[in-house]
Chains A and B, each alone.
Chain A
Amino acid sequence: MSQRPVTTESAPVRLLLIGAAILVLSLFLLLPLAAVFVEAFRKGWEVFLASLHDEAALSAIKLTLIAAGISVPLNTLFGVSAAWLVTKFRFKGRSLLVSLIDLPFAVSPVIAGLVWVLLFGAKGWFGPWLDAHDIKIIFAMPGIVIATVFVTFPFVARELIPLMETQGSDQEEAAVTLGANGWHVFFRVTLPNIKWGLLYGVLLCNARAMGEFGAVSVVSGHIRGETNTLPLHVEVLYNEYQFSAAFACATLLAFLALITLGMKSAVEHFTGHSTKGH
């Protein structure tokens, strides 16, 4: 009888558990993913490419890229600042700030979109003022960007705060005693220590920004060719029974997911340790 470490199970149990995990993974992840690709190509390559080249689709892709292109840098800046503030300083209201950062996570995406309609919509608090100045937020691009910024708010901060908390402030203090100013301390000491956590946070933030449906759906108005992001466009196509086109666009989103995962694994492999901690 071979010796095995006390903390593992016997071979049959291990096989059972691994088998169960694979089954669940297949059912909930692999199968749906495969279905997306199969359905996308059901009518052949040409239909697939045509769906992606369609004007409405291109506009949707463009809008998605803009929304992500604005919200990711903004939330990265915010996330780094908030994490710095929260982990290096002690002040009244600190825990409140941390809870507030998590707010977009706790709120249902539909509500996350609705609040902006209530604020900036025609009948909203600022509605008349915006109307008077001919500024369109709801049912236009600004609204979509705002909604996307809101729902992806916490990602970078949430990734950095535990990381920076674990790392402590010793190195920053050492840098200060050696004569470094704030700039030096941040760019030469803090940032290199958090770079992988930061990258991971940015990856997640981007994935969510591009894939957000609920909040954006509420503020967008679904104006074809104007205020549809890619996920919204997929829904529009599906509702019009253009299944293959819908799945074709969906493959883009599926690719995004795979690329995100791939980059994350590459980062972990490349650095030789997990993006968490260290």
Chain B
Amino acid sequence: MSISIQSISKTFGAYAALENVSLEVPDGSLTALLGPSGSGKTTLLRIVAGLEFADSGPGKISFHGEDVINVPAKERGVGFVFQHYALFRHMTVAQNIAFGLSVLPRSRRPQKSEIRDRVMELLSLVKLDGLDKRRPHELSGGQRQRVALARALAIRPKVLLLDEPFGALDAQVRKDLRRWLRQFHDEIGLTTLFVTHDQEEALELSDQVVVMRNARIEQVGKPQTVYDQPRSPFVYEFLGNVNKLHSGNNVRYVRPHEIDVIFAAEYDPATDALARVQHLFSAGPIATLTVRLNDGQFLDVELSRKQLDELGLSVGDEVAVRPAEGACL
């Protein structure tokens, strides 16, 4: 089910959380709302869920063409996964997952056995078989998140909304769950909208990235597009590591991995700049160098370990740096 957001604004007192935001989320896509804190992304998600109300005015929210802006949250049929899971502490995993089904009006509520079957089915889907009788506090963060997901899916939602789903987890768990979520989404094909401030996550996971800042949308596009063709310095800076070079009134940007380092002896004044290695960090698959240019500015450069070894650099060495076939704003 596609989501169509038109001209949504939201103010909290004097503070504008969203200003005239419009967005199309295609049916079946996995879309990321990406931005720094305060950009409005969580507010937008909550408005789509019906947990907040947009300011009155021309704003519209439609699911598959049907206007839902006046539909209360409990009738919107959205699956919402909270950053801190919001599992019902006093219920077992099975009871948590069954909750949405157990509060259906009698006429629509399935039989107990049907509910049970569905719960087991969902537990399998999120790879948590056998944990049905546990309580939330007996689970790890990653497990809790998957229970929250299963719970949201139990009601067969029209759309799935995730609020910083991996924010509270360890780095490794986060990576694993990210991979798992992508696979999962491909399997079930449910339109999913998730909020994150982690650009790596947004770029890796989504079909469509929506970069937000200060209550507005800066750019929408495929991950490749927003990364390679950023429409503003903000998007460029937000989506990856950045070097900023000032010359006079101009600012030029270059990404650390788009810089080649060569021996000072091979310095070509037409394309290169001379620099001195200030700092070297090489634990890990990528080596990061900080070099100081002759005009006093600093550049961060990323090299593969292999390249670093070939150059045999240490702190204090003089080198030449040259932009690779990269984009310079």
B110 to chain A, nearest CB (A): 13
Number of residues from B at the complex interface, CB < 8 A: 27
Number of residues from A at the complex interface, CB < 8 A: 16
- Pick the contact of B75 from A171, A173, A179 — CB < 8 Å? A179
- Interchain CA distance A170-B152 in the complex, whole Å: 14
- B227: CB under 8 A from chain A? no
Q: Of all chain A residues, which has the CB nearest B84?
A: A170
Contact B74 A179 (CB under 8 A): yes
- Pick the contact of A176 from B74, B87, B89, B148 — CB < 8 Å? B74
The secondary structure that dominates the A interface is: helix
B73: chain A residues at CB < 8 Å are: 176-177
B90: chain A residues at CB < 8 Å are: 192-193
- Interchain CA distance A6-B89 in the complex, whole Å: 35
Near B by CB (< 8 A), chain A positions 168-189 give: 170-171, 173-181, 184, 188-189
- Interchain CA distance A171-B151 in the complex, whole Å: 12
- Interchain CA distance A193-B51 in the complex, whole Å: 21
Number of A-B contacts (CB under 8 A): 63
- B253: CB under 8 A from chain A? no
- Pick the contact of A177 from B80, B84, B88 — CB < 8 Å? B80
Q: Which of B99-107, B296-304, B309-317 lies at the binding interface?
A: B99-107
Known: A171-B88, A192-B90, A193-B89. A180 touches B82 (CB 8 A): no
- B320: CB under 8 A from chain A? no
Contact A173 B82 (CB under 8 A): yes
- Interchain CA distance A135-B152 in the complex, whole Å: 58
A192: chain B residues at CB < 8 Å are: 88, 90
Contact A179 B51 (CB under 8 A): no
Contact A177 B51 (CB under 8 A): yes
Most B CB within 10 A of own CB, among A171, A177, A192: A177
Q: Of all chain B residues, which has the CB nearest A192?
A: B90
- Interchain CA distance A177-B148 in the complex, whole Å: 12
B155: chain A residues at CB < 8 Å are: 178-179
- Pick the contact of A179 from B88, B89, B100 — CB < 8 Å? B100
A171: chain B residues at CB < 8 Å are: 86-89
A171 to chain B, nearest CB (A): 5
Contact A181 B74 (CB under 8 A): yes
- Interchain CA distance A4-B148 in the complex, whole Å: 43
Interface string of A144-178 (1 = CB under 8 A from B): 00000000000000000000000000110111111
Q: Of all chain B residues, which has the CB nearest A183?
A: B103
Most A CB within 10 A of own CB, among B76, B87, B89, B104: B89
- Interchain CA distance A179-B79 in the complex, whole Å: 10
B151: chain A residues at CB < 8 Å are: 174, 178
Contact B88 A189 (CB under 8 A): yes
- Interchain CA distance A181-B89 in the complex, whole Å: 19
B80: chain A residues at CB < 8 Å are: 173-174, 177
- B49: CB under 8 A from chain A? yes
B200 to chain A, nearest CB (A): 26
Interface string of B88-99 (1 = CB under 8 A from A): 111000000001
- Interchain CA distance A193-B88 in the complex, whole Å: 9
Contact B51 A180 (CB under 8 A): no
Q: Of all chain B residues, which has the CB nearest A175?
A: B99
Near B by CB (< 8 A), chain A positions 185-205 give: 188-189, 192-193
Please give me the 6 A-B residue pairs with the lowest Cβ-Cβ distance, nearest first: A178-B100, A170-B86, A174-B86, A177-B80, A192-B90, A180-B103
What are 26 A-to-B residue pairs whose CB atoms are below 8 Å? A170-B84, A171-B86, A171-B87, A171-B89, A173-B86, A174-B87, A174-B148, A174-B151, A176-B51, A177-B50, A177-B73, A177-B74, A178-B74, A178-B100, A178-B103, A178-B155, A179-B77, A179-B103, A179-B155, A181-B103, A184-B103, A189-B88, A192-B88, A192-B90, A193-B89, A193-B90
Other A-B contacts than A171-B87, A178-B152, A193-B89, 4 sampled, CB-CB below 8 A, are: A174-B86, A177-B50, A178-B151, A184-B103
